[in-house]
Amino acid sequence: MTTIRQLFIDEAKFGKGTAKGPWFGELPVPRGGDFDFAFISDRTGGAVHKMFEKGLEAAKKLNPDFVVSIGDLVEGYWTDEAEAREEWDRIDPMLAGLGVPVFQTVGNHDYGTEAMIRVWRERKGVDYYAFRYGRTLFLVANTETAPLSLPETMLELMQQANRALIRNPEALFVDLFRDLAGDGFSADVLKMTEDTLIDPHLSGEQIDFFERVLADNADVDWTFVCLHQPAWKKPDPIFERLESLLADRPYTVVSGHVHYLEVTEKRGRQYIQMGKTGGLHCFEGKGDIHHILSVKMRGGVPRFEVILLEGEGGTDTLDAYVKKAAESR
């Protein structure tokens, strides 16, 4: 048994002794080898009224040692720093008041413009980090180092729709967007495919940092890699370098972004693309669900359970969402 609990910061980039970070609360002292935690996924892209709050409450009821957010907690894409701050002022108290430590992964909505990046750094400091809890290691990456390039007209429409959604949170984002776009609206504008939606950008400096952390924590039983975008779905030598560093250890990769729960089995490991925790409907199929993910570490190995948030709720197995080779959406 080990009682190690430690945060790792890239001091070469962020400096020593930084007090700021994208987390709320402090990790409890590990009680022994076994512990529980939960993943929450995307809230945004047009948040469904009160669904994220329902997800937080469901996570709290699990009595976990901590919660990990996989990104996209604010609608974001603001070009005005004041609007970015105001939105974080509404979301951060939810996380701080949960009564359970929360660790954030940065998402494209959180970090998608120069103004959003400045506000993130001002409030939360670091955009990638790692932490260890007992004999489990967490690498929390930033897949958004190159902000998405959006036409100014699209960016302004998104901001107008976001403002309208803040005023009327029970409205549907698509309806607001359609009303604002007027006669020029085409539903095709909001249609997405994985090919156009997924565009991760990690950085070499992150992998350098994770390489040092992995070397210093070679004794852990399991490693989790937390990404916002599912970087394994696009050829990326930077992510492939991270995979090579993990090759000789048990690990699980968890992402969000696509709003569709799907598990890819690769290299004998599970790569989990979470659905949504209040975010916009994007794709049809079994994985189009609002949920959180319960993780029970038992004997150094994770056991997953999908906690459903819609209708009567309930649970499901993660195996039900494993992508078979012939499957397509």
* Integer CA distances (angstroms), 282 to 129, 133, 194, 276, 307, in order: 29, 34, 10, 10, 20
When pLDDT is cut at 50, 70 and 90, the band that residue 285 belongs to is: very high
The residues that bridge with 39 in the sheet, in sequence order, are: 68, 293
Would residue 162 count as lying in a domain? no
Would residue 148 count as lying in a domain? yes
Task: For residue 131, give the DSSP letter.
Answer: E
Would residue 35 count as lying in a domain? yes
Would residue 172 count as lying in a domain? no
What predicted TM-score, i.e. pTM, was given to this entire model? Answer: 0.95
Would residue 328 count as lying in a domain? no
Q: What is the CATH number of the domain that holds 71?
A: 3.60.21.10
The pLDDT value recorded for residue 38 is 98
* Whether the Cβ atoms of residue 292 and residue 61 lie closer than 8 Å to each other: no
When pLDDT is cut at 50, 70 and 90, the band that residue 260 belongs to is: very high
Q: For the ranges 97-101, 105-109, 175-179, 232-236, which has the lowest average pLDDT? A: 175-179
Q: Alpha-carbon distance 274 to 209, whole Å?
A: 25
Would residue 68 count as lying in a domain? yes
For helices 81-96 and 152-167, the axis angle rounded to 10 degrees is 50
> 């290691």: which residue's tokens?
137
Please give the angle made by the CA atoms of 12, 27 and 295, to the nearest 5 degrees: 105
Would residue 151 count as lying in a domain? yes
Q: Which residue has the higher pLDDT, 108 or 194?
A: 108
* Whether the Cβ atoms of residue 6 and residue 132 lie closer than 8 Å to each other: yes
Q: Which domain holds residue 33?
A: 5-155+188-321
The pLDDT value recorded for residue 47 is 92
Would residue 26 count as lying in a domain? yes
Tokens read off for 273: 């693309």
Q: Alpha-carbon distance 247 to 270, whole Å?
A: 13
Specify the 3-state DSSP secondary structure of 56.
helix
The pLDDT value recorded for residue 191 is 61
19 CB burial (10 A radius; 0-12, 13-18, 19+): exposed
Total domains present in the chain? 1
Contacts of 245 (CB under 8 A, 6+ apart): 207, 210, 211, 214
At position 257, the amino acid (one-letter code) is H
Q: Alpha-carbon distance 31 to 196, whole Å?
A: 44
